[in-house]
Amino acid sequence: MLLLISITLPQLVLGVGVVAALLTVAVALFKKGQKNWLMSYLQNFTGFLFVFSGAVKAADPLGTAYKMEQYFTEFETTFEGTWMSFIAPLFPKLSEISATFSVAMVIFEIVLGLMLIIGAKRKLTSWLFFLLVAFFTFLTGFTYLTGYVPEGVNFFDFSNWGAYTESNMKVTDCGCFGDFLKLEPKVSFFKDVFLLFPAIYFLFKYREMHQLFSAKARNITLVVSTILLFIYCISNFKWDIPHIDFRPFNIGKDVATQRTAELDAMSNVQIMSWILEHNTDGRTMEIPNAQYMKEFQTYKADWKVVDNIQTEPTVKKTKLSDFEIMDLDGEDVTDDFLSEKGYTLMIVAHKLKYDSEMATRVVQDTTFVLDTTLVQMFDENGNHYKDTMQAVKKVASITPSDKRYVKYSWDIDYIDKYNSIIKPLAEQALGNGVKVKAVMGGADEDIVASFKNATGLNIEYYKADDILLKTIVRSNPGIVLWKDGKIIYKWHYKKVPTFDTMAREYIR
């Protein structure tokens, strides 16, 4: 598994610009009659940008799928309660096929980038590029504008919009470059607005696009690329975890140390100023923290706090700061987990697959009564010396009654993964002194009890946020080997080795 270091947006734009310039020079040498250098450069710039953007998402299609689920959830909430509420039920259905949707979008983006670079089907390519950029602009624009929508206010209730507050946004980044490069929605939106200019230019000037190779060669290139990309995307979540990991929970990461550093840095962040909004006319103003603290009572009556501006933490915050594990009673055991010495196998299940329904079963209700009885007391020599009355609990009646309970029906294939792969591994690990802990999303005592009964997997069980677990490993179930708060290795359940192999290669 490879780990690449992410870069900033200006660095990315510069890199894409340089590659586009080199490609444009190559096109000029290849196509002697090519005269429109601007068109050629824009083809190469936008084409390579789309190829790169799609490629980093192709390495982790599930990441894009999870991002789409966030969008679908937000859209469902937005359209509910409006005259367009008939659209809302569509989004949960789209969430169910988010992985398929993700793969299709990633392939489409990369292939469209290739079509721009080689000049395939120029008119069709121009329209597809325009429509896709327009779609992305709408998506990122919606995400950005939700920053103006206070909690409890519907997006379409424009009169109740307030000052821009980043915490209002449910989707905090567009996912345009996956986990490789996180962009704020505002930055993403303006990026897409910028791309609308070449998109519109292509619509009117598509006949001046350069074309490389013959029409047949271009078509073969697109078909072969589509097939290979499909196989590559599927392999990164159906058969294995991504071989390129841009997420903070990558192999070799010392989660315990880095998390502590991030939390310490955040605790030292200071508020520099406050953003206030007038209760009546909606005006906003920014005042220094010292002034606000001194004149708090002055502003309290007519103004409300909508945001604050803080100093930047000395250590950048990542998802590692959100790493939190709880026991089934809801107690935070994160520090205990990360400070545990030695090796630990963490079985990750971000979503347990089952159906539940209310059922009825017959239980025996026993009624007791208290009665008194005479008890004779004897000394050690057997001589009677005292009589006393004692209360005795007696059964008065036993009557059957119906009791309602939640019945869990587990997905057969899902349980089989545990019985055939996870359970043998866990038993061998425990037998060799390696701790085994299952961390599950949406778990509670009843669900875990039913799960243990279905699998016979007798290990320690904990729960965590499902989004966190999805970030840690792209497999359900997935296996993560830890040592002293550090991630040693991760496996897709289809690629997990035997314990003997694991011990030989990773446990030392």
Same-domain status, 381 and 473:
no
The pLDDT of residue 150 is 83
Q: Is residue 131 part of a domain?
A: yes
Same domain, 193 and 74: yes
Position 442 pLDDT exceeds 90: no
Instruction: Indicate if 273 and 302 belong to the same structural domain.
Output: yes
Structure confidence by residue, pLDDT tens digits, 333-380: 999 999 999 999 999 999 999 988 877 766 666 776 776 776 677 777
- 250 found inside a domain: no
Same domain, 47 and 110: yes
**Mean pLDDT, rounded, for 97-102:** 91
Going by their DSSP bridges, the two strands 435-441 and 343-349 should be labelled as parallel
Q: What is the pLDDT of residue 50?
A: 95
Mean pLDDT for 459-464 is: 94
- If asked whether residues 401 and 428 sit together in one domain, one would say no
Residue 377 lies inside a defined structural domain of this protein: yes
Instruction: Say whether pLDDT at 308 is over 90.
Output: no
In a domain, 249, yes or no: no
Clarify whether residues 195 and 264 are in a common domain. no
> How confident is the model at residue 362, as a pLDDT?
66
* pLDDT value of residue 75: 87
- Decide which of 503 and 4 is more confident: 503
Q: Is residue 247 part of a domain?
A: no
pLDDT band at 83 (very low <50, low <70, confident <90, very high): confident
- The confidence score (pLDDT) of residue 441 equals 93
Alpha-carbon dihedral sign for residues 92, 96, 101, 102: positive
What DSSP character marks residue 239?
A: I
Checking if the pLDDT of 416 tops 90, the result is yes
- pTM for this prediction: 0.82
Domain for residue 429, yes or no? yes
Stretch among 5-14, 213-222, 287-296, 371-380 having the lowest mean pLDDT:
371-380
Whether residues 418 and 471 share a domain: the answer is yes
Residue 278, beta-bridge partner list: 303
* C-alpha separations of 140 from 43, 66, 187, 268, 448 in Å: 23, 16, 9, 32, 39
Q: Specify whether 309 is located in the same domain as 327.
A: no
Cα–Cα distance, 251 to 342 (Å, whole number): 17
What was the pLDDT predicted at 363?
Answer: 67
Residue 441 lies in a domain: yes
Residue 349 belongs to a domain with what CATH number?
3.40.30.10
pLDDT tops 80 at residue 207: yes
The secondary element (H helix, E strand) that includes residue 309 is strand 303-310
Q: What is the pLDDT of residue 381?
A: 73
- Reported as a single tens digit per residue, the pLDDT across 58-76 is 999 998 998 888 888 888 8
Residue 90 and residue 332: Cα distance in Å, rounded? 37
- Long-range Cβ contact pairs of 453-457 (< 8 A, separation 24 or more): 454/410, 454/415, 455/415, 455/418, 455/419, 455/422, 455/423, 456/419, 456/423, 457/418, 457/422, 457/423, 457/426
- Confidence at 395, pLDDT banded by 50, 70, 90: low
Mark whether 488 and 378 lie in a shared domain: no
Residue 219 sits in the same domain as residue 262: no
pLDDT at position 388, please? 74
- Of 405, 439, 467, the last residue of a domain is 405
At residue 405 the predicted structure's pLDDT band, cuts being 50, 70 and 90, is low
32 and 112 part of one domain: yes
Per-residue model confidence (pLDDT) at position 185: 82
Q: What's the total number of domains in the chain?
A: 4
Residue 36 lies in a domain: yes
Over residues 115-153, the pLDDT tens digits come to: 999 999 999 999 999 999 999 999 888 888 888 888 888
pLDDT tens digits, 10-34: 888 899 999 999 999 988 887 765 6
Task: Say how many C-beta atoms besides its own lie within 10 A of residue 5's C-beta.
Answer: 6
Instruction: Report the chain's mean pLDDT, rounded to a whole number.
Output: 87
d(CA 180, CA 57): 8
What is the extent of the structural domain holding 20? 9-239
Q: What is the pLDDT of residue 439?
A: 96
pLDDT grade for 5, boundaries at 50, 70 and 90: low
Which of 405, 436, 466 finishes a domain?
405
Mean predicted confidence (pLDDT) in 28-52: 88
The amino acid that residue 83 corresponds to is W
| CA Rg value for the chain | 31
For the ranges 185-189, 238-242, 280-284, 371-375, the lowest mean pLDDT is seen at 371-375
Helix (H, G, I), strand (E, B) or coil at 50: helix
Q: CA 72 to CA 98: how far, in whole Å? A: 9
CB 53 within 8 A of CB 109: yes
Of residues 356 and 106, the one with the higher pLDDT is: 106
pLDDT of res. 305? 83
pLDDT band of 386, cuts 50, 70, 90: confident
Q: Do residues 113 and 262 both lie within one domain?
A: no
Q: What percent of the chain has pLDDT over 90?
A: 51
